Every structure is written in structure tokens, then in C-alpha cells.
Amino acid sequence: MKNAQNRLTVLAASVAALAMSMSMSATAATQGPADNSFYDAPAAMPSGNPGTLVSYRSTKVNLGANTTAHSAWNVTYKSTDAVDVENIVSGTVIVPSAAWSGTGPRPVVVYAVGTHGLGNQCAPSRQMAAGTDYEANNINAALAKGYAVLVSDYEGYLNGGLPTYLAGRSQAHAVLDMVRAAQQLNGAGITTASKVGVWGFSQGGQTSAWAAEVQKSYAPELNIVGFAAGGIPADFIKAAYFLDGSFGAAFLASGVSGLKTQYPDQLPVDLIASDSGLAALEKLQGQCVFEALLDLQNKSLSAFTKNNFGLDQILKVGGVKQTMLDQNLGTTTPAAPMYLFHGQADEFIDISQTTTLKNTYCASNKQVKFDLYPSEHIVTMTQGAGPALAWMADRFNGVAAQGNCSVTTVPASTSATTKGGDLIVNLDKWKLDAKIHLKTLNQDVILPDTSTLSVVSNISKNSMTGSMNVPDFKSRVSIIGINAQVGIRVTPVDKVTGQTSLDAAGQLTITGTAKTDITVTTVWGVPFGECKTVTPVIFPLSYKGSVGDLGAGKVTFTGTADFPQIKGCFISGIISAMMSTKGNPFTFTIAPPAPKSTY
Amino acid sequence: MTIMRDKPGFNWLPVAAGALVLAGGLGYWWTSHSPESEDRPAAAAAASQPASPVSEYEALMNKPVSAPASDLPEVPPTPEQVAEAQKVATEQVQVAQKLERPEVWKPLTGGIKDKPEYVSPMEWQMLKGVAERHPDPQAELLRLTNFLRYNKLLEKWQDLPKGSDPALRQALAEQLSSELPARVANGEVDAKDALQQGTTMLRDAYPTDAKARKKAEQSLAAQIQKAAQPQ
């Protein structure tokens, strides 16, 4: 009986998929222009169901150094907004050039992007073309696994459009319909049989979780095997209070714009906002995320409202509160296993948002796993790539998902900057992968695996201070010319100091210095006194790159260090002759500590 | 680079002697208490069958340059290693005495064929071994040898007890300061450190004549600045 029911379900789903496919193919997709007019909205809404591919073109995306070889297309497709009104959404389909070597058809990862900003120029498809997308590391990580990657811009990024930012259903529809659209794209090799995983962080985490909640009703024919979602704003009112007056105030202001765009009758912004508030909103609607964050840091909504109304009063106006409550997650059982994650030091979205959601989901779906990450918001976004993709690979391979629903603790948030403060990024005990090359001897000293760097970066004040921790160790250096090995110890001294800044394009700049003593401890294993650099060796630290590189473990400091005279033992003269020189190359790479599944 | 003057009268000769005693003591303790060292077979073989220096150096030089340099276990020295350390310490003491004669303080020029008298056999092997890897081995051997001599003189000057032997102090300071531009040009000493160090040296070189010292400082600064320019 059960088998018969299953067969009926499969048959019904197949019929639905066929009907959807026939309906979607009613309008033939057109090849779009190569210029910016690709993003012009069509004069009339094309016929066809949600997910109908409207236009496409070949494109190039730049995901930084080591971008996986691929083919890419920009697409526009039909979708629906949060209140089921038809719309046209843009996006990018990226498929690795290498043939898929796994079993079955090539899996598909729908990468749901985080906040990019409200300006049309901020659309992920445009940012990826320009090589400036701060989530490029994550997209490339999925490509490197051999997966096709779909990146929806969400609604509102066609020319002249305004995003329905944070309208959960709209975003979920956009990513689910993108899968349907990609299945119609010739040459992409994405079919109805392709297994699909949805992954996103922050706004993208919200989107992924919303997609998990609506997929059964909105796109039941899709073969989605898992949803990964991190840094989720699951409770909008709590999120609003957390962001108001904080460094992340731009997210709240952008949410006001997005929800007003989606629900103009429910959010009477024109009535609530002051003239300066309306002007600020208009400016925000032309900005990308980092520019907006820097512009509105630590601003309270009350600074932009008539009579300086704060959140308490605003929530009492019209349908504001209900609209915000309608965005909350946790009302429906997720359609597939879920991987949830959040940074304990998240300065934008309090960790309780995701952990509470996890406990809610666990009540109806035990295949929910939550990992606790040690760092702040943006670091966690990229650090999550490895674990999220590993979890997704298990889903693609048919491995049964194991949850950790038995862990119900809600860990306290740590070291997150809240109201009115500076943006402080705390890199606590980050793994330090360090190599120092001894120029004259032409040999490397590699610091122990357990070496760490702890740094507190005040990005608002452009300062950085911290320390290196290198366990007592001896590195083996063969001395050419004699049958001897020398034990060398590297001992950090003083603080790591410098400057850290973030610009409006999301570029992180770090400059500073780390100092160490270098001690030759033994020759032939025989200790013979402290033969040590007379002054600390100064390692200049310099890095400039996407803020997204931090969590990806891609922040590498390279440079040269001058070794001073070495003194204190009976062979110090020759040790100095061999080691005291300018321009010893070094490489320091930092990566965040691993996440935890028990906490 | 700053001059270490926090240990007046410090001299590595007694330290070397102490190291001999220490090495011997440690060697006895380790050999009687510790498990076999992983380095021991090679060292023991080397001790029982003296390898041809050439083949030994070739073997070392053919090793991967970036040999894994990881945490070393606490491996005690073998008796052979302790003996080698004792021998080296004795030789270091012997060659150090050769630098008592100012005639050997001057930098060597031209090619070097034989080991200078102030260079120990161990140091000479190291110098030659490292220089061999250089594209211009002869020039590198000359540079390294001169830098070794300079470092030995520098320590000698730094370790002179305060107020002792002003003539020696003056002579050493003159010699060392005159070499600073070359050390900077060779990339062995940073220009800023050289300026700082040179100022201290010139105080010893011109202990009473402030005017001459000032002039020498200006001249040295100009030479160091010139030496620091990229060639």
C-alpha cells in the first residue's frame, strides 16, 4: 500500500514537473544583448509560469585568483514576489568546464547571496563580472567541487528597479525559480534530475531558510536535497533592535527600504520619515553594502524620523509590526535536511537568532545540524564554505543527514560590538601558518602547527593590537658544510600592532608589525647557551584584499625581515655570519579556529 | 642593531669553557639515561667511518633546500655529538686568540684559498659549504669570511669591560666603523642600525676630540647612505 502511494506521489510530481516544463517553455528565451541593456525590464511581462527563462547571454565572471575554469551565463527569468505578483529577476549560471566526475548528473548549488546593497550596480551578477563580489570565495569554492552554481540577484536589480530586500518569500521564490530557469538553459547541463542544494549566509541564510520553508508548496518538483543557512535574521523585530544604532545600522535602513518596496501599504515610510530621513533613504538606495555600512554606522532610526520616533513607536504604526512578524522564520517544517551555522561573535545578527530557529526546526525535523563558529559575521560567512560544502556533498551522495538536535543550548554571544560602538573584529587564537626563510643558509624555519595569532582590530579607529603565540619548539636547520643540525627557537616579543581599515568597496587593509626573538638553541643537539638576536626581528605585516578573504584563510602576509646580530654563545660569530642579513623572506597565513558541533 | 653593553666584561671564552663542561656533563647524563636518538645511527656511522668531506658536503648540499623544519623531539645528543661539540668549543677558543693581533683585523681582498687563522675548521667548512651554493662561490666565500671576522671583532668590542684598555677599544671601534658602509652595501646590516651602531663606535674611536668625532659621524653617515642606495 505504501509503495503504491509512493508511486502515485512520484507520478504526480512527474506530471507536475512536465506540466511546469511545458508551461515554462511557452515563451522561448531570447539571447540578450551584451551591454547593460540586458538588465532592462521587458515592456510587457512575458508569458509562462514562474521559473520561465526569459533571456540569457554568455558572460565572464571573475572570482579572483584561482577561479575554477568555467562557462557562465547571465539570465533573466520569471518569478514572483512575496505576495505572488509576477516579476523578472536576473542572475548568473556558472558551470565548471571540467566534466563532472561523480555519480549521476552534476549537482547544483544555489548560492543565495548576502546583502550587496540596494543600488542596481551592486547586483551579484554585475559584481562578479567586475571581479568585486565579496562572496566570490564561496562561489568559487562550490565551483571547485565541480558543482554548477546558480546565483540569483533577487528581485529589484533590473535597471531602475528597487530590491525587495529582506522580503523572505520574494527571495526564496527568486532562488527556487532560478533552478527552474537554469534547467532551460542550453549548454548548462542542468536537468530536472540534477540534485540541488541551497546555501547562503546572512540575507542569503534568510533566503535559504525561507526556501526550505516554502519549497514544498512553491516548487515541489525540484530535487533539493539540503539547505545550508548561516547568520540568519530569523526574528525581524529582535534583529531590528540589535541593529538600530549599531555599526550594522545600514542593514536595518536597507530593510526598511526593501520591505517598503514589497509592502508599500503596510510601511508608510513617507509618513514616518523626516525629510532628512527620506534623503538618507534615497542615498542608500544608490549605494552598495560597504559604502552604506560606513555611511550609516551607529545611526539610530530615530535620527531619520519625524519627532525622532524610535523603533518602539514605529512598530505601533499601521502594519509595520505585522509586516515584520510576517518575515519571521520557523513557521513551517524545512523541506529537506538543514545545516545551520552562526558566528559566536557576530556583530550584526545575534547568535540566538539562528540557535532559536534551530531548536524550532528540530521540533519537526531531526535532520538539522547547527555548528557554532568562533568569529564575527563576515569571517563566518567565508569560513562556513568548507563545512557547508562538505555537508552538502554528503547530501548529494545520499548519505543520511545526522542532526544535533539533542544540543539545545543557546551559546552566549561573545565580543560582539553592539550599540554605538566601533566595529571591532576580534581574531581570537587564529591559526598561524608561518614560514621564515633563512636567506644565506637557504633553508626554511616553519613554526609549529599550534602557533596562533590573536588580534583585536578596531576598524572604526583604524587600529590593531594583539599577540603571536608560538609554543616552545625547536626547528631543525641543516648547516651546509658540516654534519650538524641547529635547533632554532622563534619567540614572539612585544605586541603585534598596526592598523586595519575597511573601505567602501569592501577592501580590507592591514598594516602592522610582529616581533620575535630568534634563538639558536643547540648544535648537534648540545645546548650551549642563549645565542639570540640582539634586538627583535621585525616582521612587517601588510595585506590588502577582499574582506571575504579573512574567513577563507586567504589572508597571507608576505615580506622580508632583517635579522640583526646574534650573540650569546661560543659560535655566535659564525651564526651571525650565516643568519644576520637583510631581506629574509617570510610568509604568515592566518585562518580562523574550527567550528564546533557541540557547544 | 644596538650595542649590547648590559654585561660588562662579558666574554664568550669562559662561556665556551663552561659549555665544554656542560656539554660533557649533559652528554654523560643523556647517554646514561635516554633512549636511542633517531640521529644517532648516522652520527655514529660518521664517527666510526670518517666520510670524505667532499662527499659529506655533497650529500648535505643535495638535500632538499627547504627540508621539513618542524618541531624537534627532545633528542639527547650522542656521545659523538658531545665530543664534536667539545672539539669545536676548543677550536673556537684557539682561533679567538688569533684576533688579538690587529694585523688580521683588516678585511680580506681578492680570492681566498686557505683558511684564515681566526677561522675555526668548523667555521671554515660552513663558510665553504654555504658559499658553494652561491652563483659566485669565490665572492661569496670572501664576503662571508669578512662578515665572520667582522662579527667576531664586533663581539670583542661589545664585550670589552667598561673603562678597560682604551687603546684596544679605540682601535676596534675604528676598524669596525670603517667597515659599516661595506656591511650595509652587502645587505648584512640595515642602514638605520648601521648609523646607530656607528655613532656608538665613533664615541670610542674619538673619545676626546668631539670636533673630529662630529666630522667622522657626518662622513660615515654619508657613506652609509650611499651604500644603502640600490646598485
DSSP string for A562-593: ----EESSTTHHHHHHHH--S-EEEEEEEEPP
Please name the member of A448, A488, A528 whose beta carbon is closest to the beta carbon of B19.
Answer: A528
Interface of A with B in 414-443 (CB under 8 A): 437, 440-443
CB A358 within 8 A of CB A571: no
Per 3-state DSSP, chain B is made up of helix, strand and coil in percentages (nearest 5) of 65, 0, 35
CB contact under 8 A, B85 and A570: no
Indicate whether B30 pLDDT > 70: no
Share of chain A above pLDDT 70, in %: 93
Share of chain A above pLDDT 90, in %: 82
pLDDT band at A422 (very low <50, low <70, confident <90, very high): confident
CB contact under 8 A, B155 and A572: yes
* A433 shares its domain with A536: yes
Would you tell me the crossing angle of helices A249-262 and A236-243 to the nearest 10 degrees? 140
User: Rounded to whole angstroms, how far apart are CA atoms B175 and B168?
Assistant: 11
DSSP state of A548: G
CB contact under 8 A, A446 and B68: yes
Indicate whether B128 pLDDT > 70: yes
Mutation target for B interface from A441, A472, A526: give the one with most B CBs within 10 A.
Answer: A526
* A14 shares its domain with A158: yes
Chain B residue closest to A476 (CA)? B69
Indicate whether A225 pLDDT > 90: yes
* Minimum distance, in Å, between the CA of residue A533 and any CA atom of chain B: 9
* A217 shares its domain with A245: no
User: Rounded to whole angstroms, how far apart are CA atoms A189 and A146?
Assistant: 13
Out of A324, A350, A372, a domain closes at: A324
* Minimum distance, in Å, between the CA of residue B26 and any CA atom of chain A: 8
Interface of B with A in 103-142 (CB under 8 A): 120, 122-123, 125-130, 132-133
**B175: helix, strand or coil:** helix
Chain B residue closest to A535 (CA)? B1
Q: How many CB pairs under 8 A join A and B?
A: 167
pLDDT tens per residue, range B62-109: 333 333 344 455 567 788 878 877 888 899 999 999 999 999 999 999
Indicate whether A9 pLDDT > 60: no
The answer to whether position A376 is within a domain reads: no
Q: How far is CA B99 from CA A101, B42, B53, B147, in A?
A: 70, 35, 27, 14
pLDDT band at A347 (very low <50, low <70, confident <90, very high): very high
pLDDT computed for residue A293 by the predictor = 96
Q: C-alpha cell of A395?
A: 547530501
Please name the member of A564, A570, A576 whose beta carbon is closest to the beta carbon of B16.
Answer: A570
Q: C-alpha cell of B182?
A: 661595506
Interface of B with A in 51-110 (CB under 8 A): 56-57, 60-61, 63, 65-72, 75-78, 81-82, 84-85, 88-89, 92-93
Interface of B with A in 183-222 (CB under 8 A): 187-190, 193
Counting the structural domains of chain A, the total is 3
Q: How far is CA B198 from CA A88, A577, B155, B216, B224, in A?
A: 74, 19, 14, 10, 10
pLDDT band at A483 (very low <50, low <70, confident <90, very high): low
Indicate whether A343 pLDDT > 80: yes
Interface of A with B in 327-356 (CB under 8 A): none
pLDDT band at B18 (very low <50, low <70, confident <90, very high): very low
Give mean pLDDT, residues B163-170.
92
Provide, as residue numbers in chain B, all residues whose Cβ is less than 8 Å from the Cβ of A562: 190, 193
Please name the member of B71, B144, B147 whose beta carbon is closest to the beta carbon of A448.
Answer: B71
pLDDT computed for residue A411 by the predictor = 84
CB contact under 8 A, A570 and B61: no
Mean pLDDT over the full length of chain B: 75
* A62 shares its domain with A200: yes
Indicate whether B26 pLDDT > 70: no
The answer to whether position A379 is within a domain reads: no
* Minimum distance, in Å, between the CA of residue A445 and any CA atom of chain B: 6
Predicted-complex ipTM score? 0.74
The answer to whether position A401 is within a domain reads: no
* A125 shares its domain with A162: yes
DSSP string for B105-138: -SPP-S---S--TTS-HHHHHHHHHHHHTSSSHH
The answer to whether position A190 is within a domain reads: yes
Range of the domain at A247: 236-324
User: Rounded to whole angstroms, how far apart are CA atoms A53 and A472?
Assistant: 61
Per 3-state DSSP, chain A is made up of helix, strand and coil in percentages (nearest 5) of 30, 30, 40
Higher pLDDT, A419 or B226: B226
* A209 shares its domain with A93: yes
Indicate whether A97 pLDDT > 50: yes
Q: C-alpha cell of B161?
A: 669591560
User: Rounded to whole angstroms, how far apart are CA atoms A530 and A516?
Assistant: 15
Residue partners of A369: CB distance under 8 A and separation at least 6: A337, A338, A339, A340, A391, A401, A402, A403, A404, A597
Chain B residue closest to A568 (CA)? B12
Mean pLDDT over the full length of chain A: 92
pLDDT computed for residue A175 by the predictor = 98
Residue B136 phi/psi, 5° resolution? -120, 80
* A58 shares its domain with A205: yes
pLDDT band at B22 (very low <50, low <70, confident <90, very high): very low
* A229 shares its domain with A267: no
Question: Domain residue spans in chain B?
Answer: 12-30+77-100+109-159, 163-231
* A433 shares its domain with A548: yes
The total of other beta-carbon atoms located within 10 Å of residue A191's CB is 12
Q: Cβ of A476 under 8 Å from any chain B Cβ?
A: yes
Q: Cβ of A560 under 8 Å from any chain B Cβ?
A: no
pLDDT tens per residue, range A236-291: 999 999 999 999 999 999 999 999 999 999 999 999 999 999 999 999 999 999 99
pLDDT band at A599 (very low <50, low <70, confident <90, very high): confident
pLDDT tens per residue, range A128-179: 999 999 999 999 999 999 999 999 999 999 999 999 999 999 999 999 999 9
DSSP state of B89: H
* A181 shares its domain with A261: no
Q: Can you give the CATH number for the domain in which A200 is found?
A: 3.40.50.1820
CB A255 within 8 A of CB A240: yes
Q: Can you give the CATH number for the domain in which A283 is found?
A: 1.10.260.130
Out of A305, A337, A369, a domain closes at: A337
pLDDT computed for residue B230 by the predictor = 81
Provide, as residue numbers in chain A, all residues whose Cβ is less than 8 Å from the Cβ of B193: 562, 564
CB contact under 8 A, A441 and B61: no
* A306 shares its domain with A164: no
Give mean pLDDT, residues A573-578.
94
* A212 shares its domain with A293: no
User: Rounded to whole angstroms, how far apart are CA atoms A502 and A521?
Assistant: 42
* Minimum distance, in Å, between the CA of residue A567 and any CA atom of chain B: 8
Q: Cβ of B43 under 8 Å from any chain A Cβ?
A: yes
Please name the member of B72, B85, B123 whose beta carbon is closest to the beta carbon of A487.
Answer: B72
pTM across the whole model: 0.82
CB A114 within 8 A of CB A79: no
